[in-house]
Amino acid sequence: MEGIIANEVTGNFSSTLEDDQLRALIETHITTTAEKTELKSALDELKDESLSSNERTVSWQKLQGFLGKVADKVGDVGVHLLKKYLEQQI
């Protein structure tokens, strides 16, 4: 039942391990609800092929900026892998 509800709320986006890792980093390292919401939305928008390439690029930039901010806390290897993943999405 949870999967059906989540699919209705978030659309038909499939969540990958990398998506889950990004969401966990956002939850851990961002304190304001507004910024958490913005970054999680950016991740969903990045995967939404119905959006224009400009809209998806803005979402990608937001997530890249976030990863740049948390790189010293998370470690360069993990951030590098997540950045590669984001590049594949755009």
Please report, for the chain, the start and end positions of each structural domain, with discontinuous segments joined by +.
Answer: 15-89
Model confidence at 7, pLDDT cuts 50, 70, 90, reads very low
* Angstrom distances, CA of residue 52 to CA of 12, 38, 55, 68: 18, 18, 5, 24
What pLDDT shows up at residue 9?
52
How much is the mean pLDDT over the chain? 83
What is the reported pTM? 0.74
